[in-house]
């Protein structure tokens, strides 16, 4: 499990190189803390919002990143909310999909890859929730290949949460090319009649 050290802070307190944060939970009161900005960046990159982080300070708690506020100009984190997790608790979370591998249908058959889903809802032991779930694109080897939600490989102790296993994750298809050599047929008679009708129309006289 990833870990991050913290120290308590008082309201309005600032500290060079430290990021303001707070942790709270169902059985944990809101506690303002500082975490090292650089250390948080490294941990957050790996943990995301679906992996549990061990927060170590005056006490040890397990938590997940609930929300990150960013500086509107620098686009750097300025505040983090951590939601504490009870040991052994089962939770549901959105986990992003990571597309790996190469589709033979795209590489050799000229197919186009369509990524339909980019995250899935899962449920399980909070400490076992993955940072991401891999989608093996090599399974798309033919033009009729489809990867469905039920084809995803989930870690032990983790299952889909309120999702249809038949829902499409990714698929391949061939774009139909328009035949530009085919003659364009047009109904000339309808055009002539329309033109004739326009010429025969007399302008309406204005009433004085």
The CATH superfamily of 91-173 is Ribosomal protein L25, C-terminal domain (2.170.120.20)
Q: What is the pTM of this model?
A: 0.63
* Interatomic CA distance for residues 168 and 150, integer angstroms: 9
- Tell whether the model's pLDDT for residue 1 goes beyond 80: no
Is pLDDT above 80 for 79?
yes
Cα distance between residue 33 and residue 42, in whole Å: 18
Structural contact between residues 115 and 55, judged by C-beta atoms closer than 8 angstroms: no
- Residues 77 and 71: their CA atoms lie apart, in Å, by 6
| CA 147 to centroid of chain Cα atoms | 17
State which fold the 2-86 domain adopts.
Ribosomal Protein L25; Chain P (2.40.240)
pLDDT of residue 184: 54
Indicate where the chain has its CATH 2.170.120.20 domain(s): 91-173
> What residues have CB less than 8 Å from 21, skipping those under 6 apart?
6, 32, 33, 34, 35, 40, 79, 80, 81, 82
Q: In the predicted model, is pLDDT for residue 191 greater than 50?
A: no
Query: Is there a contact between 85 and 52 (Cβ–Cβ < 8 Å)?
Result: yes
């Amino acid at each position: 499990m990833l870990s991050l050290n913290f120290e308590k802070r008082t309201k309005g307190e600032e500290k060079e190189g430290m990021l303001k944060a707070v942790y709270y939970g169902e059985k944990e009161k809101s506690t303002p803390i500082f975490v090292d900005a650089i250390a948080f960046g490294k941990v957050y990159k790996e943990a995301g919002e679906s992996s549990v982080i061990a927060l170590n300070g005056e006490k040890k708690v397990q938590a997940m990143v609930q929300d990150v506020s960013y500086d509107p100009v620098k686009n750097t984190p300025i505040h983090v909310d951590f939601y504490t997790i009870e040991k052994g608790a089962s939770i549901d979370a959105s986990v992003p999909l990571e597309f790996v591998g190469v589709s033979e249908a795209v590489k050799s058959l000229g197919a186009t890859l369509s990524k339909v889903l980019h995250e899935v809802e899962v449920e399980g032991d909070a400490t076992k929730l993955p940072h991401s779930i891999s989608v093996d694109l090599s399974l798309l080897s033919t033009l009729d290949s489809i990867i469905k939600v039920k084809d995803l490989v989930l870690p032990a102790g983790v299952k889909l949460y309120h999702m249809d296993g038949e829902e499409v994750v990714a698929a391949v298809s061939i774009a139909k090319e328009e035949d530009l050599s085919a003659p364009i047929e047009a109904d000339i008679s309808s055009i002539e009649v329309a033109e004739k009708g326009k010429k025969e129309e007399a302008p309406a006289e204005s009433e004085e």
